[in-house]
């Protein structure tokens, strides 16, 4: 029987064990942005390294940060003995860290106590990281396992370098340095493969050829040097809460366009044929909104673009967090000493994250309320990335998905950000193929994050098939 | 020697013990807005009742709330055996509860570990409640103690009813019912005396003849039924953080006037002679701002009025708290399901708190962002109050302050709110005399709240003198 047949059979008969392994991994609370979880993040890295070793790869834990060890570790694994093998050399990138879990009260089950529930689309696994990105990485890891156990060769004799990051959800602050320090190693690869994107719908798989960039800032407006009694001071001095909302409200004009001067200067306009192609895709903005409890009238955003165009090809400004004054129970008549907001911008080619955050800070300065002072902080950023739609690797990925799902994938973009793609292009000249299986309503970054086993199944088979098709390219 | 001379001597020689008693009281964390402190609030009430009993009054603890006991207790004390005595019957009102202490990190010493520090103006006591209102009530309590121990008669044979509330800092939610249920009792009084206001400066004592009203609301804007990933949803649906700041920013026009329709309709315009009298008062807006770390350019507020006029005679809208999305450490790329703000309004005669909050909620509704829903909550309110400047009691208080401080008090107003004054007027027909000794920079409601011993001294003597002068009115 052909190796791929055995591999696919293995994936079916071993699915329970595969999911059980994913559950083990999901139990480790690898929240990278919160220092309290540093030890758990490392545990999740070691767990992944062990899994890769069991599939026959050589896996190392690499320290990151300056000095080394101040960052979260990177898992780097390679297929042994294939240094001089013919055929493609694939860099697989994924991340094993997860987002914070708050508001924790809204979780129906513990974020790190994974449960299998049934719902629309069949069984799904519910936990933080179920989809983003442990679940998606697991599809690839189990395809490797299947090829070793049933396919008769580690990774089907395809050269792989596997890079699993632990800081993706906290801005990948150490990744750039790591990539530059190991650039020679990654330049040897032919293409990067990432499973951290979505399908168009449960029924319609997709290959993603573009992602948005990001710059994430925090601004703090300082007023009086102490909290004040709103009776004695109300009407007599600036209230940072009042003043901050008056400044931030100016971020958008009546067409919901961002008002920062030059913000759109380097945005590549959407081509007519691209818009036409997207219009043909089976997607309903109203249906998507219904899934998050909103009516069709909530289909708002930059004027002149459809929801899909706004997500895939237009930049945004979002207040991800705002806080100032008394936020506890009951009433406190205070004028606070300061107010703050976390403001991020999703960017599209060819916007530059650093230039945008600088322009935003300057824009705030121009609006400094009388007697107040700003404090600016840049959390993280990442370049937008679009990839060639005509590369042999993207064609191979499409064919693999079609064989695994029985349906040709749509070519789509994503509004999310995968900064590593831009970095690999800039530092190592690598193109990236995004082969992901998430759904719009997987609640990534939210309470009750889920990943449907149906999606997991398609993804694992697609990765198994991709290896088979890469073998044919030798 | 005259009784008053003995009383004043007692206050001087016993000051250490008086302050030690205040320290004991301040150690009890009677935060009324936070249910976690319910037991401590009661302890503070019992402490006050004990103090009053030791000065010869009959003190009772009255339960409040429906059902009784759900609210914080009221301490009610009366001078015994004077039911048929001639001369004035004075209702003293004060409160023994305190504001929350956050941000607790900014306290140089424990909020409930009172310390005596020296600084500008000499020694001061630092603790939550040092000034507002335990310290100010203590001036009266120790004057009573002095009259009993050195003056030879409980309260100098002046009829007093003492009402100490435990819910002033949490909206006095049960006071109105209590006053109505006991109206007959309070109607027997001739005047109300309150020590919860301030002096014009360390050198210039004052009698306050007007306070602002208040209505305190909380509004919550609901968008999607779950937190969303700002990459997948940014630009495709309403972000409650973005939308809330856009609505709240409309609360003020460019002249910093509140834009709610009809907001100013029942505001009594300031008289020319009142403005002229205030202009003569020794007050510098720039000096006051310097004390809270702000430059003169921070002297902002409703156009066309001085800082003093804005605080004393003009209404305001203040965002006391705002919160939505991710407010923890680091970055989280979330579009939150909701965003909220605590918004309060200081009111002047003849604005009505309930009408203002209703108008504000309607104003919000008119600005509901597409697909979003509002949740409105009214925390508390209180009527503005102005009192006659020509009453014999106000004249007696002025004379008492002049004798105690060697300087005639200025007649001022306050931007703060003392709702009980309006309630006593409406329910029992009582006028109120505000004889207070706080300072602008006492940090009431803020970290490191203080009360200067110099102020305490003037206040205790003034209360002792007031009793002496009331004796003369028999």
Give the containing element (helix H, strand E) for B10: helix B3-13
Which distant-in-sequence residues (6+ apart) come within 8 Å of A362 by Cβ?
none
Q: What is the pLDDT of residue B82?
A: 87
Q: Is residue A432 helix, strand or coil?
A: strand
Q: CB–CB of A440 and B231 under 8 A?
A: no
The CA-atom distances, in angstroms, between A342 and each of B42, B323, B327 are 41, 11, 8
- What is residue A396's predicted lDDT score, i.e. its pLDDT? 97
Task: State the Cα–Cα distance between residues A135 and A132, nearest whole angstrom.
Answer: 7
3-state SS string for B181-209: HCHHHHHCCCEEEECCCECCECCECEEEE
Tell me the pLDDT tens digit for each residue of B11-68. 999 999 999 999 999 999 999 999 999 999 999 999 999 999 999 999 999 999 999 9
Note whether B333 contacts A344, CB cutoff 8 Å: yes
Cβ atoms of B371 and A289 closer than 8 Å: yes
Asked if A242 contacts A322 with a C-beta cutoff of 8 angstroms, the reply is: no
Q: Which residue shows structure tokens 């009573």?
A: B144
Q: Are strands A74-78 and A159-165 parallel, antiparallel or unpaired?
A: antiparallel
Q: For residue B192, list its beta bridge partners.
A: B91, B432
Complex prediction ipTM: 0.85
Tell me how far apart the alpha carbons of residues A459 and A453 are, in angstroms, rounded to a whole number. 10
Question: Which residue from B433, B453, B440, B345 is spatially nearest to B390, judged by alpha carbons?
Answer: B433
| Separation of first and last alpha carbons in chain A | 21
How far apart CA B161 and CA B455 sit, in angstroms, is 24
Angle made by CA atoms A266, A268, A272, in degrees to the nearest 5:
155
User: For the stretch A16-37, what's the b/e string if a residue is b when 16 or more beta carbons lie within 10 angstroms of its beta carbon?
Assistant: eebbebbbebbbbbbbbbbeeb
pLDDT for the residue A378: 96
Residues in chain B with CB shorter than 8 Å from the CB of A241 are 318-322, 341
pLDDT attached to residue A29: 98
**Nearest of B397, B408, B413 to residue B466 by alpha carbon:** B397
- Residue B471, pLDDT score: 95
Nearest C-alpha of chain A: how many angstroms from B382? Answer: 12
Nearest CB to B370 within list A298, A326, A344: A298
The tens digit of pLDDT for each residue in A416-471 reads: 989 899 899 889 999 999 999 999 889 998 899 999 999 999 999 999 999 999 99
pLDDT of residue B385: 87
Q: What residue has token string 């503070």?
A: B44
Residue range A54-63: mean pLDDT, rounded: 98
Q: How confident is the model at residue B474 (pLDDT cuts 50, 70, 90)?
A: confident
pLDDT tens digits, one per residue of A142-197: 999 999 999 999 999 999 999 999 999 988 989 999 999 999 999 999 999 999 99
Checking if the pLDDT of A323 tops 80, the result is yes
Contact A304, A267 (CB under 8 A): no
Predicted local distance difference test score (pLDDT) of residue A331: 86
pLDDT tens string B413-442 = 999 989 899 899 889 999 999 999 999 889
Mean pLDDT within A218-231: 95
Taking contacts as CB-CB distances below 8 angstroms, the residues of chain A near B219 are none
- E strands, A102-232, where? 115-119, 122-126, 159-165, 191-194, 206-211, 213-222, 228-229
Give the closest-approach CA distance of B6 to chain A in angstroms: 37
Query: What are chain B's domains?
Result: 2-211+385-470 (3.40.630.10), 213-267+315-382 (3.30.70.360)
- Tokens representing A181 are 């320090």
User: Is the distance from CB of A382 to CB of A421 less than 8 angstroms?
Assistant: no
Quote the mean pLDDT of chain A: 95
Residue A413 Cα, gap to closest chain B Cα (Å): 10
CA distances from B231 to A317, A344, B239, B309, B327 (A): 11, 10, 12, 49, 18
Q: Do A298 and B372 touch (CB under 8 A)?
A: yes
Average pLDDT over residues B89-93: 98
- DSSP for B375-427, please give it: EEEEEEEE--EE--SS-HHHHHHHHHHHHHHSSPPEEEEESS--HHHHHHHHH
Which residues lie below 8 Å from residue B108, measured CB to CB, with a gap of 6+? B126, B447, B448
Which chain A residues have a beta carbon less than 8 Å from that of B320? 230, 241, 325-326, 331-336
B320 contacts A335? CB cut-off 8 A: yes
The model's pLDDT over B193-240, given as tens digits with 9 standing for 90+, comes to 999 999 999 999 999 999 999 999 999 999 999 999 899 899 999 999
Examine the pLDDT at B1 and tell me if it is beyond 80: no
Q: Which residues 6+ apart lie within 8 Å of A120 measured at CB? A: none
pLDDT at residue B171 in the model: 83
pLDDT-based confidence at A84, cuts 50/70/90? confident
Q: How many CA atoms lie within 13 A of A49 on its CB side?
A: 17
Q: pTM score, two decimals?
A: 0.85
- Residue A440 near residue A291 (C-beta atoms within 8 A): yes
Start-to-end CA distance of chain B, whole Å, equals 21
Check residue B322 and give its pLDDT. 98
Mean confidence (pLDDT) of chain B = 95
Closest Cα in chain B, distance from residue A59 (Å): 30
pLDDT above 90 covers a percentage of chain A that reads 89
Q: What is the average pLDDT across A277-287?
A: 93
Which residues in B lie closer than 8 A to residue A342 (C-beta atoms)? Answer: 325-327, 331-332
DSSP state of B371: T
Quick check: A226 and B443 CB within 8 A? yes
Q: Do B371 and A302 touch (CB under 8 A)?
A: no
Which residues of B are less than 8 Å from A371 in CB distance? 289, 294-295, 297-298, 300
Strand partners, B218: B342, B377
Q: How far apart are the C-alpha atoms of A228 and A231, rounded to whole Å?
A: 9
Pairing of strands A191-194, A432-434: parallel
Does B133 sit behind a cis peptide bond, omega within 30 degrees of 0 on the bond before it? yes
With H, G, I as helix, E, B as strand and everything else as coil, classify residue B446. coil
| Pairing of β B89-95 and β B115-119 | unpaired
A102 and B249: CB-CB below 8 Å? no
């Amino acid at each position: 029987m052909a190796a791929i047949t055995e591999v696919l059979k293995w994936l079916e008969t071993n699915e329970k064990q595969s999911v059980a392994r994913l559950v083990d991994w999901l139990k480790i609370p690898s929240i990278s942005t919160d220092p309290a979880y540093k030890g758990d993040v490392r545990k999740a890295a070691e767990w992944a390294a062990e899994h890769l070793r069991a599939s026959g790869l050589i896996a190392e834990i690499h320290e990151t940060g300056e000095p080394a060890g101040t960052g979260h570790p990177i898992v780097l694994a390679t297929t042994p003995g294939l240094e001089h093998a013919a055929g493609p050399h694939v860099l697989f990138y994924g991340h094993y860290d997860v987002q914070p879990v708050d508001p924790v009260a809204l979780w129906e089950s513990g974020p790190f106590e994974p449960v299998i529930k049934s719902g629309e689309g069949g069984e799904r696994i519910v936990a933080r990281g179920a989809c983003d990105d442990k679940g998606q990485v697991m599809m690839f890891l189990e395809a490797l396992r299947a090829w070793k156990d049933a396919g008769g060769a580690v990774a089907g004799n395809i050269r792989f370098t596997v890079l699993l990051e632990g800081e993706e959800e906290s801005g990948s602050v150490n990744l750039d340095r790591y990539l530059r320090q190991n650039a020679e190693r990654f330049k040897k690869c032919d293409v990067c493969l990432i499973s951290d994107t979505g399908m168009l719908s449960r029924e319609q798989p997709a290959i993603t050829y573009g992602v948005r960039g990001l710059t994430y800032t925090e601004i703090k407006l300082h007023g009086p040097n102490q909290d004040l009694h709103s009776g004695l001071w109300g009407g007599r001095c600036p209230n940072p809460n009042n003043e901050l909302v008056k400044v931030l409200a100016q971020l958008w004009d009546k067409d919901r366009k961002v008002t920062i001067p030059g913000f759109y200067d380097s945005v590549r306009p959407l081509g007519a044929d691209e818009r036409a192609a997207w219009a043909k895709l089976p997607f309903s903005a109203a249906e998507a909104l219904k899934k998050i409890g909103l009516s069709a009238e909530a289909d708002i955003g930059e004027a002149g673009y459809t929801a899909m165009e706004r997500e895939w090809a237009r930049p945004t400004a979002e207040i991800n967090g705002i806080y100032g004054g008394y936020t506890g129970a009951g009433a406190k008549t205070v004028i606070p000493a300061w107010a703050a907001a976390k403001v991020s911008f999703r960017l599209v080619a060819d916007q530059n994250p650093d230039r945008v955050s600088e322009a935003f800070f300057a824009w705030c300065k121009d609006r400094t309320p009388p007697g107040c002072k700003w404090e600016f902080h840049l959390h993280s950023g990442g370049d937008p990335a679009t990839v060639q739609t005509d590369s042999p690797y993207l064609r191979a990925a499409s064919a693999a998905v079609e064989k695994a799902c029985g349906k040709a994938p749509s070519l789509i973009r994503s509004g999310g950000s995968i900064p590593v793609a831009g970095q690999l292009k800039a530092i190592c000249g690598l193109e990236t193929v995004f082969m992901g299986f998430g759904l719009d309503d997987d609640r990534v970054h939210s309470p009750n994050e889920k990943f449907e086993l149906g999606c997991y199944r398609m993804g694992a088979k697609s990765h198994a098939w991709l290896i088979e098709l890469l073998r044919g390219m030798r």
